[in-house]
A and B are shown apart, each in its own frame.
Chain A
Amino acid sequence: MEQVVIFSDDNGGVSILMPSQECLKRHTIQEIAEKDVPSGKPFKIVSRDIVPSDRTFRKAWEVDESKLTDGVGSPHNVFVTDPQHPNNQS
């Protein structure tokens, strides 16, 4: 089952994050979401099937932020395994 990550953008709209299948060979979607969702923003990992394919009113999409309970975007935009992650800096 293909999954995507949703979070709310700064204008009250809905952002859809699609993970790379290549990257998923090395990292979980949770790890990707924590790295790539903007810092401090709560997110939800959902089945891709629930994202409407009809984009006619795409900019009017809204999300209930109280349902975004799977995690929060990290302040670091690198994986913890990346040499540039603060944990790996000497």
Chain B
Amino acid sequence: MSDLIIKPSGTSANFKVQNPSGTDKIVMNSSGTITTATLGSAVDLGLTANHSGVKTAINASGAAPIYACRAWAQINGTNNNLNADGNISSVTESSDLYTVNLETALEDANYSVNVSFKRQSGDGSSAGYVNIEKSQTLSNSSFKIYFFNTAGDTINPGLIFVSVFR
């Protein structure tokens, strides 16, 4: 039994696989680098979340593992507008209580929510704190948040920032 060897005719020539119309579909240069190819979704690259290639690609240096943000949003709290978001289906405001709904649910409710908000320039009453609403049972598809000023009154921040990790 012997290996099947396919080689270009010249030392600097490329190895090519073309479709019937002559379009290059796979190209490997003389250095052995594949310069043209399309990987199907079924191709297993053998990557894991903490693969060095993955970490390098997202500037995650060091040995610590990486965990992804599963949903995020920037919300205008005064008109409920979602300025930008990822994996959010909607935001509901009910008497200053905000419910953030996820487009695709998480595997369970054991996630971490980070919420902050912007203080309005010249408006001391816009400074305060945020709480995850006490009465709710955490759900894997939504969570509720209240914002308070330092006097303990509920407020509607101009900008709300949300991220969810799991």
Chain B contact residues, CB within 8 Å of chain A = 73, 78-82, 85-86, 88-96, 99, 101, 103-105, 139-142, 156
Contacts and interface: CB of A to CB of B under 8 A. Distances in A.
Contacts of A79: 89, 103-104
B147 to A, nearest CB: 14
B156 A55 contact: yes
A7 to B, nearest CB: 8
A18 B105 contact: no
Main secondary structure of the interface of B (DSSP, over half): strand
Interface of A: 4-5, 9, 11, 13-23, 26-27, 32, 35-36, 53, 55, 58-59, 77-79, 82, 84
Contacts of A32: 89-90
Contact of B86 (A22, A55, A59, A84): A22
A3 to B, nearest CB: 11
Nearest 7 pairs of A and B residues by beta carbon = A15-B94, A77-B141, A18-B80, A9-B94, A36-B101, A17-B92, A23-B89
Contacts of A13: 94-95
Nearest to A59: B95
Contacts of A82: 104-105
A19 B93 contact: no
A53 B78 CA distance: 9
Contacts of B86: 22
Which of A9, A23, A58, A79 has the most chain B CB atoms inside 10 A of its CB?
A: A23
